[in-house]
């Protein structure tokens, strides 16, 4: 593992804080370390769209491939109760 694998990288950008929190919560529940950047600015106007995708979700570089696979997975809505 290289040093750069432990660095946090942007994996998604969001214009709405609630969407960012949903994805962050999913990844956190699977044990991934994540951070949101721009959350403070977005929380000032919670129902507004932040221009230019002002909210960034970061994760460790070593986890990016696993995270992309998880986010690309299709979940069966009937299994979630």
pLDDT at 74 (0 to 100): 75
Which of the residues in the chain have pLDDT under 70? 1-4, 42-53, 76-81
pLDDT at 16 (0 to 100): 84
Task: Output the CA torsion 81→33→53→10 (10° steps).
Answer: -130
Q: Which domains does the chain have, with CATH numbers?
A: 3-79 (3.30.70)
pLDDT at 37 (0 to 100): 93
Work out the number of other CB atoms within 10 angstroms of the CB of residue 80: 6
Q: Measuring CA to CA, which residue among 67, 66, 57 is closest to residue 21?
A: 57
**pLDDT tens readout for residues 14-29:** 888 888 999 999 999 9
pLDDT at 73 (0 to 100): 85
């Amino acid at each position: 593992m290289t040093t750069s694998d432990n660095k946090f990288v942007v994996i998604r950008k969001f214009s709405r804080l609630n969407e960012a929190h949903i994805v962050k919560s999913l990844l956190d529940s699977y044990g991934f370390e994540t951070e949101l950047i721009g959350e403070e600015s977005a929380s000032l106007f919670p129902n507004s769209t932040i221009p230019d995708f002002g909210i960034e979700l970061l994760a460790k570089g070593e986890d990016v491939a696993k995270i992309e696979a998880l986010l690309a997975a299709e979940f069966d809505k009937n299994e979630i109760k």
